[in-house]
């Protein structure tokens, strides 16, 4: 049964907890979940993407107030190759200097050209994100009202308008415990884990049309997959008929690809399982922290759900040749004894294997009558990786404009009423 998520609740009154029992969240854990850190390892199982390293001048541009975009390349004319000196007057030279002053990309031309080339390489349409977050909260300002970008300016407009991106830039290590280096003389690690020296990257993914009904968020605790749920909080009837198949595919994918290779034992990850639902794609990796939206779970549930049993270690191990076994015999003569015990040992092993196979992650879907099915009580951005107050604040841009529009309509309506009364008098 689906339940409403409550990621902002600090405790559970029924248990008497005043703080959720999270393990310490370190800066290194946050960095391990950065796209640039894990993508090279899992590139073959991730949708096509390219990374553009961001220079300090470009980061300063993102942090600066106001939105100033580079001049549109289509509006530029390169007179140097066509005028043969006819139009190279002093006035034109001064205009060129003014244009250059109005172009913020002159300070980060290398990034600008890399972004342009990457868009072309990926087919002309891309979806941007920073190390952790995509500017989903800023799509209201885009001409397409979506994350689809076709020019560098489309990307800059989204990044500059997004509170999610601002959080990546200014608050990536909020609520983190300090990492303790093994050797106090190691200063390089400390410098790498400071906010000012995070290796920021612009991630550009090839734009493809995804079916949101088959995107899932998965929760890993102590290297064990304990829970899976929908990312899109709408009711999809067909998911219930293939729930077991989806669970098996995702669990197999985790065990083969992620269980032993990701550096942290606790994390969450998002997957996409397109038809015919035989292959799983890794979309994102998120921190095991309260900033990650638990969607159809609560974090208290995820911290206390049962785990799979540990692998059995009760198998009989043959002692070295020439030594006595636990039956007081050498290995050769003990062979018949072990055969006599075979039926019992086999049955115990089968019981152990059945016990391990019987465990399945909690798989939660939105039911028809759940409030989540209609999206009235859930966050607008179900896949955000930020505290809820940041998500609420991110709605300010669009909300403020709507509020202004509503008030303006009220003013006009009131004015019409007064004009009507005056004309009646």
Which residues have C-beta within 8 Å of that of residue 314, sequence separation ≥ 6? 348, 352
Q: Note down pLDDT in tens along the chain; length 425 residues.
A: 433 344 444 455 455 555 788 888 999 999 999 999 999 999 999 999 999 999 999 999 999 999 999 997 654 434 344 444 444 444 554 454 555 567 899 999 999 999 999 999 999 999 999 999 999 999 999 988 899 999 999 999 999 999 999 999 999 998 888 654 443 433 444 445 666 679 999 999 999 989 999 999 999 999 999 999 999 999 999 999 999 999 999 999 999 999 999 999 999 999 999 999 999 999 999 999 998 999 999 999 999 998 877 765 444 344 444 433 333 333 334 334 444 444 444 544 444 444 445 678 999 999 988 776 665 445 555 444 444 444 555 555 445 555 655 665 676 667 667 666 655 55
Q: What is the pLDDT of residue 322?
A: 40
Unique residue bearing structure tokens 């703080």: 19
Question: β-strand 126-129 against 49-53: which pairing, if any?
Answer: unpaired
Q: What is the pLDDT of residue 370?
A: 79
Unique residue bearing structure tokens 């339940």: 3
**Number of residues in the chain:** 425
Q: How far apart are CA 271 and CA 230, in angstroms?
A: 10
Alpha carbons within 13 angstroms on the beta-carbon side of residue 133 total: 29
Q: How far apart are CA 27 and CA 264, in angstroms?
A: 12
Whether residue 349 contacts residue 309, with contact meaning beta carbons closer than 8 Å, is answered with no
Q: How far apart are CA 124 and CA 109, in angstroms?
A: 20
Whether residue 54 contacts residue 110, with contact meaning beta carbons closer than 8 Å, is answered with no
Task: Determine the number of helices (DSSP H) and then strands (DSSP E) in the chain.
Answer: 15, 8
Question: β-strand 224-230 against 362-364: which pairing, if any?
Answer: parallel
pTM (whole model) above 0.75: no
Q: What is the pLDDT of residue 195?
A: 64
């Amino acid at each position: 049964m689906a339940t409403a998520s409550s990621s902002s609740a600090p405790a559970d009154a029924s248990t008497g907890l005043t703080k959720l029992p999270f393990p310490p969240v370190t800066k290194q854990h946050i960095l391990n979940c950065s796209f640039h850190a894990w993508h090279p390892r899992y590139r073959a199982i991730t949708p096509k993407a390219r990374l553009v390293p961001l220079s300090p001048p470009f980061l300063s541009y993102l942090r600066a107030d106001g939105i100033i975009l580079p001049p549109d390349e289509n509006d530029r004319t390169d007179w140097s190759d066509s005028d043969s000196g006819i139009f190279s007057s002093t006035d034109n030279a001064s205009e060129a200097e003014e244009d250059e002053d109005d172009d913020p990309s002159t300070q980060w031309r290398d990034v600008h050209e890399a972004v342009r080339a990457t868009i072309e390489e990926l087919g002309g349409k891309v979806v941007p994100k920073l190390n952790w977050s995509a500017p989903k909260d800023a799509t209201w300002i885009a001409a397409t009202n979506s994350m689809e970008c076709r020019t560098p300016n489309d990307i800059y407009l989204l990044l500059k308008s997004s509170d999610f991106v601002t959080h990546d830039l200014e608050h990536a290590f909020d609520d983190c415990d300090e990492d303790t280096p093994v050797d106090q003389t190691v200063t390089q690690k400390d410098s790498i884990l400071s906010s000012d020296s995070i290796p920021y990257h612009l991630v550009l993914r090839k734009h493809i049309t995804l079916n949101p009904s088959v995107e899932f968020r998965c929760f890993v605790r102590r290297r064990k997959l304990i829970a899976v749920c929908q990312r899109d909080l709408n009711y999809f009837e067909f998911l219930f008929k293939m729930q077991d198949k989806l669970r098996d595919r995702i669990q197999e994918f985790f065990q083969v690809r992620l269980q032993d290779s990701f550096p942290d034992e606790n994390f969450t990850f998002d997957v996409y399982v397109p038809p015919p639902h035989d292959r799983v794609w890794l979309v994102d990796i998120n921190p095991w922290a309260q900033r990650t939206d638990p969607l159809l779970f609560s974090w208290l549930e995820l911290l206390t759900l049962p785990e799979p049993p540990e692998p059995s270690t009760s198998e009989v191990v043959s002692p070295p040749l020439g030594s006595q076994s636990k039956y007081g015999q050498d290995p050769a003569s003990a062979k018949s004894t072990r055969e006599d015990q075979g039926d019992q040992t086999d049955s115990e092993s089968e019981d152990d294997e059945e016990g391990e196979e019987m465990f399945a992650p909690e798989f939660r879907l939105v039911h028809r009558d759940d409030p989540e099915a209609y999206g009235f009580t859930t966050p607008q951005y179900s896949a955000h990786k930020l505290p809820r107050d940041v998500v609420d604040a991110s709605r300010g841009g669009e909300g403020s404009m709507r509020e202004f529009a509503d008030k303006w309509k009220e003013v006009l309506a009131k004015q019409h009423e007064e004009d009507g009364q005056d004309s009646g008098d």
